[in-house]
Chains A and B, each alone.
Chain A
Amino acid sequence: MTNASQNRSRSGPRTSSGGFSVAKLLLEGRAFLALIVIIVVFSMLSPYYFSLGNFLTMASHVAIFGILAVGMLLVILNGGIDLSVGSTLGLSGVVAGFLMQGVQLQMLGVVLFPPVWVVVVLVCALGALVGLVNGVLIAWLKVPAFVATLGMLYVVRGAALLMTNGLTYNDLGGKPELGNTGFDWLGFNRLFGIPVGVLVMMVIAIIGSIILNRTAFGRWLYASGGNERAAELSGVPVKKVQVSVYMLSGICASVAGLILSSELTSAGPTAGNSYELTAIAAVVIGGAALTGGRGNIRGTLVGAFVIGFLSDGLVIIGVSAYWQTVFTGAVIVLAVLLNAIQYRRRVKLPGSTDGPSTSPQQGGKAQTAAPAHEKIAG
């Protein structure tokens, strides 16, 4: 068989196994399916659930986790884990609050009130710095990712508590005469009827998707997550990639922190407690493998929506908070179980040597796209 003829006959064998394909489709699209089921069920249980207003409200709750989850996805694709994002989120809010109250420069005897855009840039830089510490610990000093980021979880949370002595900054509005108003824009305003937080999440998701699918960095990320040794021998700067993903994750956490404190118009040092776990759950429900190399932005966003729409739905129909926790946990375990089934099946799949294989992404344009399974992100 020549290669050319194989290329043309590529879509051949897929049509012959219709029933198998349906099962496969259900498995591949399970997170999306779960989302639809959640929406249908809650719409039947409550008249308030199925309305544009409620969807937008729920979406702005999802935005915080969605942004964290995109950053977490990059880390997990690399085969790592970032437990420090919840704390980074909290510290970011506190630092933003601190800057909004004005910075006293004792030596000069003046109080600086930085404009909001400066606050945003400084806070994002802070998130990147936390990520840099994580990345250097993991890539260069060989501390396991779990331990390094667990340590940072405590250190960063402690820093936030120290800064405020455990108290909360309440007044984040700024004053017109000081030129630092507009912080609430992130959390309260809407563009084209959509909350700004949701738009920020969408922008971050699109940027993330472009990075993963269309840049060399994205390809390096998938490669070093899939097989670090092979990537290194192919000339991929695996350490730089590793440090970068933790920095990007830290920046995502800072953005989420800014949005959350803007929504609440207050910044407490305990904000974002255990959010890292929700973010990990969203990534896992979205079909990413914790071993690295597999996953995409689209799935992760759907995962975040599944968690958000489920827990808000339970609130709306009046289920107790304790039961919400149980349901969320069950969904996560189910998701991982299905992941295991999917990836096990995929390992067994390659049977034939040179016949066209039955890869799910076999069709036409998947040809050049990098990791065939991950390419339809965004």
Chain B
Amino acid sequence: MNAAPQFEPAPADTVLAARNIVKSYGGTHALKGVNFDIRRGEVTTLFGENGAGKSTLMKILSGVETPTSGSIELDGRPVAFSSTVDARNRGISIIHQELSLAPNLSVRDNIFMGRELRGATGLDFAEEARQTRLLMADLEEDIDPMTLVQDLRLGQQQIVEIARALSVDSRILIMDEPTSALSATEVEVLFRVIRDLTARGVSIVYISHHLEEALQITDHAVVLRDGAITATANAKNIDLEWIVRNMVGENFDLGSPPTGYAFGEVALSIDELSIADVSGSDRLVVDRLSLEVRAGEIVCIYGLMGAGRTELLESVAGRLPMTGGRVLLEGKDISRLSIAERIDRGLVLVPEDRQRDGLVQTMSVGANLSLASIGAFVKGMMLSRSRERSLIDGTIRDVRVKTAGGGAPIGSLSGGNQQKVVIGKMLTTNPKVMLLDEPSRGIDVGAKAEVFRLIGERAAQGLAVVFSTSEVAECLSIAHRIIVMRRGRISAQFSADVTKEQIMAASGEAVLV
């Protein structure tokens, strides 16, 4: 296994070399001293799981973010990008994972946003439109330059995003998940465009979750895991298995399913649940999905982005309206209840995005922890401070939050500890069923293991747990049962002795386009 990082001096055909890049957010280290080379006229693919630091590295190389420490050399000379415009002027452009288009503007205006062509009288709209048409022809996409971006489907929006990056004559083009919404034919066109570009000497950095697809186009593979590079190799010498092995890592133990007890009654029962697409298309985000979870059982839901995991969990928790089906908690229909009523009856959700949905940034650690269970320490009309304090101190101890105390600001905690606060907050309500949407997102491996141990302990005490993940290794940790979701439906169910390859195949991840 060539897991040992290789740090030879940059070869002559290296356009851009990043040296010892470190990036920290508060207490979280997203990148821990990364060395990364981009080779002239080649496609370098960056592999890695969610949270491995791929997007962070790309944001640094394209001037979106500045590294905490480390240096970047362009053509052998050290550079520091002050902004994306600065990076773009030096020939580096990026296609972001999240689309960065203005939906209220036309395709033409989006492509020339920020670098509008000047004409004799104001802007030269005709020339802009002409160039836009050429770009669209190149990408074999029949989109009128005056169409509003909001009227395009997601895949076409992605094409516009790509066209915008192509319209600047870049020497280095970074593509962060460019194909996530593209059809197979569109991917083929994109690959042809990439080949044209490399033939002209343009260097490409490619990131994708579709491993086989990425393997097709790449010349050079780099694997990133937990903020560090674990392997680099020439595409000729590697296969899918090599990538997965280096991406996931074999050795770190995220725990095993708790044993030594029998599952209880069915705690949560999802019956033919459907959720319509918010964007208004006929497609169902979750399509007549049924699932039963028993007390003490841990179920893992695996799926790619857009498989409908988040929508499923949010709908069961009462946040997202469902269009059909029922949700039963211990045999009672709770489909019509509010979020607060569901929490009262014992069903809680730990949301995916803890900054946006999990924490109140303006409040202290303690106030965040006690927010969901205020009723437990109200005496008469007033809050009992002593009861609240003992509840907070108890929870901090229980879920092992590393904090200066309940009065500390929530922002002073690391990502992992913030996640423990969100989990602890919901655990203080004494739930019967706990849903966790990507509980390990954006936290480091050590904290991950702690979170999973915590979940395992509670399950052994009779809590029914459903957690979602997009990392295969996590499915194979504490879950008794693994559900694979694909396009809103359950595409496979496995017991805990399944292999990574089986799970990935069922999710559609490793399937050739």
A353 to B319, CA, bound (A): 32
A214 to B385, CA, bound (A): 8
By a CB distance below 8 angstroms, the chain B residues around A225 are: 362
Interface 9-mer from B176-184, B412-420, B471-479: B412-420
Interface 9-mer from A145-153, A185-193, A369-377: A369-377
Interface 9-mer from A20-28, A59-67, A166-174, A227-235: A227-235
Closest to B422 in A: A230
Least Cβ distance of B314 to chain A in Å? 9
Closest to B364 in A: A372
Q: A115 at interface (Cβ–Cβ under 8 A)?
A: no
Q: Are A353 and B371 in contact (CB under 8 A)?
A: no
Q: A106 at interface (Cβ–Cβ under 8 A)?
A: no
Q: Are B405 and A367 in contact (CB under 8 A)?
A: yes
Least Cβ distance of B29 to chain A in Å? 10
Q: A246 at interface (Cβ–Cβ under 8 A)?
A: no
Least Cβ distance of B234 to chain A in Å? 39
A340 to B413, CA, bound (A): 23
Least Cβ distance of B320 to chain A in Å? 11
Q: A378 at interface (Cβ–Cβ under 8 A)?
A: no
Q: B114 at interface (Cβ–Cβ under 8 A)?
A: no
Q: B275 at interface (Cβ–Cβ under 8 A)?
A: no
Q: Are A354 and B27 in contact (CB under 8 A)?
A: yes
Q: Are A222 and B362 in contact (CB under 8 A)?
A: yes
By a CB distance below 8 angstroms, the chain B residues around A233 are: 317, 319, 339, 349, 351, 357-358
A356 to B409, CA, bound (A): 10
Closest to B408 in A: A357
Least Cβ distance of A361 to chain B in Å? 6
By a CB distance below 8 angstroms, the chain A residues around B340 are: 235-237
> Chain A 105-145 against B: per-residue CB contact (8 Å), 1 yes, 0 no?
00000000000000000000000000000000000000000
> Chain B 379-413 against A: per-residue CB contact (8 Å), 1 yes, 0 no?
00111011011001000110001111111110111
A371 to B408, CA, bound (A): 10
Least Cβ distance of A2 to chain B in Å? 9
Interface footprint category on B: 35 or more
Q: Are A227 and B359 in contact (CB under 8 A)?
A: yes
Instruction: Return the contact of B360 from the options A3, A226, A350 (Cβ within 8 A).
Output: A226
Q: Are A359 and B363 in contact (CB under 8 A)?
A: no
Instruction: Return the contact of B26 from the options A6, A227, A350, A371 (Cβ within 8 A).
Output: A350
Assuming A230-B358, A233-B357, is B367 touching A222 (CB within 8 A)? yes
By a CB distance below 8 angstroms, the chain B residues around A350 are: 26, 409, 411-413
Closest to B406 in A: A367
By a CB distance below 8 angstroms, the chain A residues around B363 are: 222-223, 226, 293, 370-372
Assuming A219-B374, A349-B411, is B404 touching A230 (CB within 8 A)? no
Q: A220 at interface (Cβ–Cβ under 8 A)?
A: yes
Q: Are B366 and A368 in contact (CB under 8 A)?
A: yes
Q: B188 at interface (Cβ–Cβ under 8 A)?
A: no
* Residues 35 to 73 of chain B near chain A (Cβ within 8 Å): none
Assuming A220-B374, A350-B411, is B405 touching A10 (CB within 8 A)? yes
Q: Are B361 and A359 in contact (CB under 8 A)?
A: no
A371 to B406, CA, bound (A): 10
Instruction: Return the contact of A235 from the options B344, B401, B404, B408 (Cβ within 8 A).
Output: B344
* Residues 363 to 377 of chain B near chain A (Cβ within 8 Å): 363-364, 366-367, 370-372, 374-375
A7 to B406, CA, bound (A): 9
By a CB distance below 8 angstroms, the chain A residues around B429 are: 235
Q: Are A372 and B319 in contact (CB under 8 A)?
A: no
Q: B343 at interface (Cβ–Cβ under 8 A)?
A: yes
A372 to B366, CA, bound (A): 9
Q: B171 at interface (Cβ–Cβ under 8 A)?
A: no
Least Cβ distance of B227 to chain A in Å? 15
Least Cβ distance of B335 to chain A in Å? 17
Closest to A232 in B: B339
Closest to A351 in B: B26
A271 to B317, CA, bound (A): 49
A220 to B413, CA, bound (A): 22
Q: B425 at interface (Cβ–Cβ under 8 A)?
A: yes
By a CB distance below 8 angstroms, the chain A residues around B389 are: 367-368
By a CB distance below 8 angstroms, the chain B residues around A326 are: none
By a CB distance below 8 angstroms, the chain B residues around A362 are: 404-405, 407-408
Least Cβ distance of A156 to chain B in Å? 31
Among A235, A292, A354, max chain B CB count under 10 A is at A235
Q: Are B402 and A369 in contact (CB under 8 A)?
A: no
Assuming A231-B360, A354-B417, A357-B412, is B344 touching A367 (CB within 8 A)? no
Q: B152 at interface (Cβ–Cβ under 8 A)?
A: no
Q: B498 at interface (Cβ–Cβ under 8 A)?
A: no
A368 to B395, CA, bound (A): 13
Among B338, B388, B409, B417, max chain A CB count under 10 A is at B409
By a CB distance below 8 angstroms, the chain B residues around A232 are: 319, 339
Q: A366 at interface (Cβ–Cβ under 8 A)?
A: yes
Q: Are B356 and A229 in contact (CB under 8 A)?
A: yes
By a CB distance below 8 angstroms, the chain B residues around A292 are: 362
Q: A215 at interface (Cβ–Cβ under 8 A)?
A: yes
A292 to B362, CA, bound (A): 9
Closest to B357 in A: A229
Instruction: Return the contact of A3 from the options B351, B378, B381, B396 (Cβ within 8 A).
Output: B396
Closest 3 CB pairs of A and B: A353-B27, A293-B362, A226-B362
17 contacts between A and B (CB under 8 A): A3-B403, A214-B382, A226-B360, A227-B357, A227-B359, A227-B362, A230-B357, A230-B371, A234-B425, A293-B360, A347-B411, A349-B409, A351-B26, A353-B414, A357-B412, A362-B407, A362-B408
Binding site for B on A (CB under 8 A): 1, 3, 6-7, 10, 210, 214-216, 219-220, 222-223, 225-227, 229-237, 289, 292-294, 346-347, 349-357, 359, 361-362, 366-373
16 more A-B contacts (CB under 8 A) besides A214-B383, A357-B408, A372-B367?
A3-B396, A216-B383, A219-B367, A222-B367, A227-B362, A229-B357, A230-B358, A233-B319, A234-B371, A236-B340, A236-B371, A293-B361, A293-B362, A368-B389, A371-B363, A372-B409
